Structure 1
């Protein structure tokens, strides 16, 4: 959610527009779209099929009630939950999130993501994350995105490196996952690092 940054001001994250914009360099295989209540059965089935892939790195909604809570949380212009979908079949290959957007002088958010087992290992999540970065930096006009990853999650760390994230630190007991407080590495990327198209600053960013 968007947090108050005192006198700096806050702004709700923009609602995701059509994905992608079909510009040169866009993924030919995947697109992004906001999650909806109609995705419940497919999403829960993919979560069940991906237990071995996700454990112990993250926990996704596993019941109808948990899924509805997820949809309710993201059915507002403060955070975004987007599905990575195959262009040719519209099947869901993964999910990406932008959380905790702070405007003002920070212009930053937190990114999270998860692939689903049936299509894992084919590069779909890498392409989806690339689209998410472009959306965050060009459409939401954020300056910086952070990601927190457990040190043993080598696949996730490899994905961040591939997209140009840099390691910024290590936080013991950062997040409560799978019944325990887990250590995490902190990674981040800025719009210039990502090489995205320059855009005017967001209207909440101070002039000086």
Structure 2
């Protein structure tokens, strides 16, 4: 199956300039995603537990294409290799125009600015193409790499929720990191 046509965006970090291709996930990405998630399982623990089999992919993919969710794959433009995943979850329009953002990258590309570019590009897509006003990433306080990534992408810490999500058998505290649309539409441009 052919890949969906990506959109490319160049992003600049304080230390590096990177370009990534973002595309919506397709069913044809299944084998590549499962292989990447399996290979990166130790790298993602304990913070993320992406699917590692067909059943997990199908459950995730069904949520990506039928619900208020958009999953984007970040790829290195020259090689087309998978860099990471950015999920825009629980998109709510109307007066809220917001979603929750989840993301994870692959170890081969860590520390090179690619996931910062991917998260910034996903934010641009969410604001310009989806018309969102607010993106919220909820991150466990101990997950310093994810917090630093959110900061580099322009997210600001907004709050703290004790025992916010039930993960790995316990209720976990989370910090709320938020990015607001810098080009907020005027009220006359909004449709409920």
Both proteins in one fold, TM over 0.5: yes
How far residue 138 of structure 1 moved from its aligned partner, in angstroms, is: 1.0
Q: Deviations over 1:77-106 (max 9, x none)?
A: 621011001111111110001111122221
- Does 1:143 pair with 2:127? no
Task: Specify which structure has the higher proportion of strand.
Answer: 2
**Aligned partner (choices 152, 156, 160) of residue 162 of structure 1:** 152
How far residue 29 of structure 1 moved from its aligned partner, in angstroms, is: 2.8
Aligned partners of 1:57 and 1:177 also within 8 Å:
no
Residue-pair matches, total: 183
SS of 2:7 mapped into structure 1: coil
How far apart are the structure 2 equivalents of 1:95 and 1:71?
Answer: 13
Q: Extract unaligned runs of 5+ from structure 1.
A: 1-15
SS of 1:88 mapped into structure 2: coil
Q: Structure 1 residues 51, 35: closer, same or farther in 2, change over 3 A?
A: same
**Aligned partner (choices 53, 57, 67) of residue 67 of structure 1:** 57
Equivalent runs, 1:80-119 vs 2, <5 Å: 80-119=70-109
Give me the TM-score of the superposition, normalised by structure 1. Answer: 0.80
> Which stretch shows the higher mean deviation, 173-182 or 24-33?
24-33
**Aligned partner (choices 174, 178, 186) of residue 184 of structure 1:** 174
How far apart are the structure 2 equivalents of 1:199 and 1:36?
Answer: 31
- Does 1:129 pair with 2:127? no
RMSD between aligned alpha carbons? 2.2
Give me the TM-score of the superposition, normalised by structure 2. Answer: 0.86
Q: Extract unaligned runs of 5+ from structure 2.
A: none
Tell me which of the two structures has the higher relative contact order, counting C-alpha pairs closer than 8 angstroms and 6 or more residues apart: 1
Aligned partners of 2:6 and 2:21 also within 8 Å:
no
